[in-house]
Amino acid sequence: MRLPVGAYASILHRASGILFLPVVAAGLVLWRTARTSRAGFHAVGSALTSPAAHILGPLAVWVAAQHLFGGIRYLLLDSDIGFGRARSRSTAAIVIAAALVAAGIAGWLWP
Amino acid sequence: MSETRFRIFRYQPEVQEAPYVADYTLPAGHGAVMLLDALLLLKEQDESLSFRRSCREGVCGSDAMNINGRNGLACVTALKDLRQPITVRPLPGMPVIRDLIVDLTGFYRQYRAVRPWLIDAGRVPDVERRQSPAERARLDGLYECILCACCTTSCPSFWWNPERFLGPAALLQAYRFLEDSRDQATGERLDDLEDPYRLYRCHTIMNCTDVCPKGLDPARAIGGIKARLAARRL
């Protein structure tokens, strides 16, 4: 079965929704640690500038962006905006591309 | 025209334990333009090859099949648009009766479940049930469905819940009668549709709209049903 781009957008929306949970959990843990003490703040700072964070950070941004943009697309569809073969294909491609661009920008700007 | 190569799903459940894919070739200059023409020529080579077909012009919907990974009608699919080898399989998610012929009993059961006919318990009128041109125009894009099952069998939600999810073709017809000004059973129809599985298994994946050979938009019709249900709640 050859899936259209809309199907990939749907799969990615669900996959990013699942991945979003640990991303939010990790963000909350980092935030709490950074607020606990001066040492915790510096520990979070060094964690966010580690080599692993240069991969995981943009990945987390991709997860959030993919789910957010995909969700906006579905909200627009629920408002009867974006139906039709050509439109649904192009909006699905835009969502996937925009999430990748967001991740790329995050990777480029990551300290 | 050069030779054309095919890979075709073959299965006879009564005599074969497992399906297989058979290779076929039509020689150069075969003259076939559409995929159905080519399949008919291949059937002359191997008369055991089985598939449904009737009108050969995209009206009956009999020759729906999976062509190079995408559902479509063989009679309106031009060979020149297909990458070779052309892989032909039966519609996905349906029990195979033989080769490219699938059992559509479940599909028709879901179609009947939406009561795809006009319901009017009132007195039979002396003249026809009239509609204004505007009321009639609301049915455009809904009534043209030929029930080929391309949409429903490309829907992942239907693959997972074929017994409970109505599928895009049946839901398109449900919306067609919700939109019909002559129908008197809108409330009952919406009651029947308001169900986590029958309607709300649709996750707006939109494979249905992508494959419809008539260019219809079942996903939008399903959105229309959801909007009517939401409006009724408000």
CA distance A24 to A64: 9
* pLDDT tens per residue across all 234 residues of chain B: 689 999 999 999 989 999 999 999 999 999 999 999 999 999 999 999 999 999 999 999 999 999 999 999 999 999 999 999 999 999 999 999 999 999 999 999 999 999 999 998 888 888 988 999 999 999 999 999 999 999 999 999 999 999 999 999 999 999 999 999 999 999 999 999 999 999 999 999 999 999 999 999 999 999 999 999 999 988
Helix A5-36 to helix A51-78 angle (10° resolution) is 130
Q: Do A83 and B227 touch (CB under 8 A)?
A: no
CA distance B24 to B195: 46
At the topology level, CATH places domain A5-109 in: 3 helical TM bundles of succinate and fumarate reductases (1.20.1300)
Sign, Cα dihedral of B59, B61, B62, B68 = positive
Question: What is the secondary structure of A20-54 as a DSSP string?
Answer: HHHHHHHHHHHHHHHHH-HHHHHHHHHHHTSHHHH
Tell me, yes or no, if B187 comes closer than 8 A to chain A by beta carbon. no
Return the ∠ at Cα A79 (arms to A75 and A80), rounded to 5°: 120
CA distance B104 to B152: 11
- Tokens 């060979």 — which residue? B79
Global pTM reads: 0.91
Interface-testing mutation among A11, A12, A83, with chain B (most B C-beta atoms within 10 A): A83
Residues in B touching A84 (Cβ below 8 Å): 209, 217, 220
Closest by CA to A8, choosing from B205, B220, B7, is: B205
Residues in A touching B225 (Cβ below 8 Å): none
Residues in A touching B209 (Cβ below 8 Å): 83-85, 88
Q: What is the domain partition of chain A in residue ranges?
A: 5-109
Tokens read off for B103: 């059992």
| A87/chain B closest Cα distance in angstroms | 10
Q: Which H or E element spans position B88?
A: strand B86-89
B200 DSSP 8-state letter: T
CA distance B80 to B182: 45
Peptide bond into B85 cis (omega under 30): yes
Residue A1 has what pLDDT?
85
- Residue percentage of chain A with pLDDT more than 70: 100
Q: Report H helices in chain B.
A: 35-45, 105-113, 133-137, 156-160, 168-178, 186-193, 207-211, 218-233
Specify whether the CB–CB gap between B206 and A88 falls below 8 A. Answer: yes
CA distance B180 to B135: 7
Q: Which of A:49-88 have CB within 8 Å of B?
A: 74, 77-78, 80, 83-85, 88
| A43/chain B closest Cα distance in angstroms | 42
Report residue B145 CA to chain centroid gap: 8
Q: Which of B:146-175 have CB within 8 Å of A?
A: 154, 156
Tell me, yes or no, if A2 comes closer than 8 A to chain B by beta carbon. yes
Tokens read off for B98: 């033989």
Q: Do A84 and B68 touch (CB under 8 A)?
A: no
Q: A84 to chain B: nearest residue by CA?
A: B217
Q: Do B92 and A1 touch (CB under 8 A)?
A: yes
